[in-house]
Amino acid sequence: MTSQASIFREQIIKLSADYYRSRWPERPFVPGRDYVPVSGKVFDEEELGSLIDASLDFHLTAGRYTSEFEERFAGLMGRKYALLVNSGSSANLLAVAALTSPLLGKRRLLPGDEVITVAAGFPTTVNPLIQHGLVPVFVDVDIPTYNIDVTQLDAALSPRTKAIIVAHTLGNPFDLGFIQSFADRHGLWLIEDTCDAVGSLYEGQPAGSFGDLATVSFFPAHHLTMGEGGAVLTSNARLKKIVESLRDWGRDCWCTPGTDNTCGKRYDWTKGGLPPGYDHKYTYSHIGYNLKATDMQAAIGVAQLKKLEGFTAARKHNFEFLKAALKPAEEWLILPEATAGSEPSWFGFPVTVREGAPISRNELVRSLEEARIGTRLLFAGNLLKQPAYAGVVHRIAAPLTNTDRIMNDTFWLGVFPGLNTEMLSYTAQVILGLLEGKEESKE
């Protein structure tokens, strides 16, 4: 790069910081006027400058920022490898697809094999199973952790069971000790859907560091954002190679974009029915996709990584603040609890309306929205009641009693770092006021 270009780059990035401060100035929160969102991106001039720096390289696919992000993120998550992809949903797709690879021999998942999971969650945890002809076996969840009920695992097990895929619900780690022991005992693959749980710990170790594979999302709602983006994590070199191949068109070659002959024998391979010496860059060992992210996305992620510790602390603080503020409402609301042995970096604050409460879940969330307070349901509720899943081949290991209750009575509030104590106080005051007002009207 010429010295003049370097000077221009420096000036552009400096101007972007000035632009940030002008475009997004801080302003005080006004209750009832300003919306209290459940989630959102938290960024400043550093992310904007990093994005612009990457764009000035005009390296539109993976590049220097991608390599930096993958290396640093893998270390933070307690893994050897992190493979950046274009979304968390793609990460789940690749994790499941990897377990169907012929390279896994007898442990390869085949159509008709069963995978234990839950119906109370986000669709893209389960969708890849259906898309690969696998049979999801559903077990119920626990309230108030909202995680898989491990007492039902034995009922879910069959001779066709080959894997478990479960999400850490709203950042609360599931019982990793029990589930990993169960998976090891029965020779099952374990995929941790960690899309909502970056920064969470179980027994002092990062959520996402236990399973054979783990997945992460970098959508704006999540703990770190790139706008769109995700990652597959593993410490298994063979699984890393398979995921990388599936992500990159299914190719056998592992050269990074813009490089050639990493293996040193590009024209010396003999694969399948190809003629000897066929270019390794155009040799395909899997039926793959193109699910790569861009270096501009990775540049945002690199800046976000520096803030992860602060983001995690803010989520924990906001969760504890809300829990204390809503404690007077425990007569009517079930408040969330962390899984034993865990330290969640909460994605949201789940609440279940008790039987006999003076207001229904639907009435409560409508009233909160009218008060300019955002809420969300616990994703799909009961996935099997969703129209898209009618007729899907599946098995239910035990009655989904709590799953149905979540579908009818549960919602969640935001705790992300963009919320301050004024917003959380207002949220709690409105909820308490609605409950007390309804109770008084009944008397």
User: Could you give the residue numbers annotated as active site?
Assistant: 222
Taking the CA atoms of 417, 422, 426 and 429 in sequence, report the sign of the dihedral they define: positive
Taking the CA atoms of 171, 175, 176 and 182 in sequence, report the sign of the dihedral they define: negative
Are 283 and 245 spatial neighbours (Cβ–Cβ below 8 Å)? no
Distance between CA atoms of residues 281 and 5, nearest Å: 34
Question: How many other CB atoms are there within 10 angstroms of residue 290's CB atom?
Answer: 10
Question: How many other CB atoms are there within 10 angstroms of residue 151's CB atom?
Answer: 12
Closest by CA position to 280, among listed 304, 263, 256, 293: 263
Are 343 and 153 spatial neighbours (Cβ–Cβ below 8 Å)? no
Distance between CA atoms of residues 66 and 71, nearest Å: 9
Distance between CA atoms of residues 301 and 136, nearest Å: 33
What does each C-alpha distance from 408 to 120, 267, 362, 380, 404 come to in angstroms?
12, 60, 8, 11, 6
Closest by CA position to 174, among listed 140, 144, 214, 147: 147
- Write the secondary structure of 426-440 as one string of H (helix), E (strand) and C (coil): HHHHHHHHHHHHHHH
What does each C-alpha distance from 7 to 3, 4, 58, 240, 259 come to in angstroms?
6, 5, 17, 40, 29
> Which ranges constitute the DSSP H helices of 174-258?
176-186, 237-247
What is the number of helices (H) and of strands (E) in the chain? 13, 15
Quote the radius of gyration of the chain (alpha carbons, Å). Answer: 24
Taking the CA atoms of 311, 315, 318 and 320 in sequence, report the sign of the dihedral they define: negative
Are 199 and 312 spatial neighbours (Cβ–Cβ below 8 Å)? yes
At 269 the three-state DSSP class reads: coil
Tokens of 432: 């308490």
Please name the residue that has the structure tokens 């952790």.
145
